[in-house]
Amino acid sequence: MDPIEKLSQLFKEFPGIGPRQARRFTYFLMTKNKGYTDELIRLIGSISKEVTTCSKCYRFFPITSRTDVKECSICRDTHRDATFLMIVSKDVDMDAIERSKAYQGLYFVLGGNVPILDKNPETKIRSRELSDRITQDITTGTLQEIVLSLNATTEGEHTADFVRALIKPLIEKSAQPIKITVLGRGLSTGTELEYSDSETIKSALSGRK
Ligand SMILES: [Zn+2]
């Protein structure tokens, strides 16, 4: 396979990128100067060594000079409201919520969605990690509300149903009641959180039920 084709094949695997866009990326790189491509190569090569997943919410975050830091800045922030736990599919969804500045609680990143009719749904998201996290939060007794913030798509709704079924038996064991809420439909059907503007997210959050 020629190098243009090879590189385009790699770009094609990026989310939302089709074969034509992938080729456009490849040609674009050929027009850039060496400084740009060297920086790109360096960053791609080092990102897995400079970024890690938070041991609590599982989002990606830059490794600090202190190797004992296992939790991200949000999880370590004592000003965040630990009575709320928001469950999102991906890091980009969490970024969108943070940009809206409408939410002050904590997070859990599932790492994906559960495809419809999937044979092993529990393997498509961080099911075990989520169960552990909620069990832990119940033990500390701080948690009062779990907010399901998933895409308003068929797959997002399917994921929400799966997560609800997974966590329900856990929260039933809690000594104090824990509510499960979902974002209000300020998000119209088919909407992906990562593309929602801050105002939409704000109204979806205040309209949660
Ligand atoms: Zn975290």
| 180 confidence band (pLDDT: 50, 70, 90) | very high
Distance 83 CA to ligand 1 centre (A): 15
Distance 41 CA to ligand 1 centre (A): 28
Q: What's the mean pLDDT in 107-129?
A: 92
Residue 36 · residue 28 · CB < 8 Å: no
Distance 57 CA to ligand 1 centre (A): 4
Distance 6 CA to ligand 1 centre (A): 36
Convert the pLDDT of each residue in 44-98 to its tens digit.
998 888 899 999 999 999 887 776 788 999 999 999 999 999 999 999 999 999 9
Q: What's the mean pLDDT in 23-31?
A: 95
Distance 61 CA to ligand 1 centre (A): 8
The continuous run of DSSP H or E covering 105 comes out as strand 105-109
Angle at 201 between CA 155 and CA 77, to 5 degrees: 100
DSSP 35-84: HHHHHHHHHHHHHHHHEEE-TTT--EEEPPS-TT--S-HHHH-TTSEEEE
Distance 53 CA to ligand 1 centre (A): 8
Convert the pLDDT of each residue in 146-168 to its tens digit.
999 998 889 999 999 999 999 99
Quickly count helices (H) and strands (E) in the chain: 8, 6
- Set out the domains of the chain in order of their start, with CATH numbers: 3-53 (1.10.8), 78-206 (3.40.1360.10)
Name beta bridge partners: 60. Answer: 53
- CA dihedral (113, 114, 117, 119) positive or negative: positive
CA distance 119 to 141: 35
Sequence-separated (6 or more) residues with CB below 8 Å from residue 157: 150
CA distance 69 to 200: 34
What local confidence, expressed as pLDDT, does residue 165 receive? 95
Distance 17 CA to ligand 1 centre (A): 29
> Which residue is it, tokens 């308003």?
152
pLDDT over 70 (residue 189):
no
What are the φ and ψ backbone dihedral angles of 158, each rounded to 5 degrees? -65, -40
Average pLDDT, the chain: 91
Sequence-separated (6 or more) residues with CB below 8 Å from residue 121: 114, 115, 127, 162
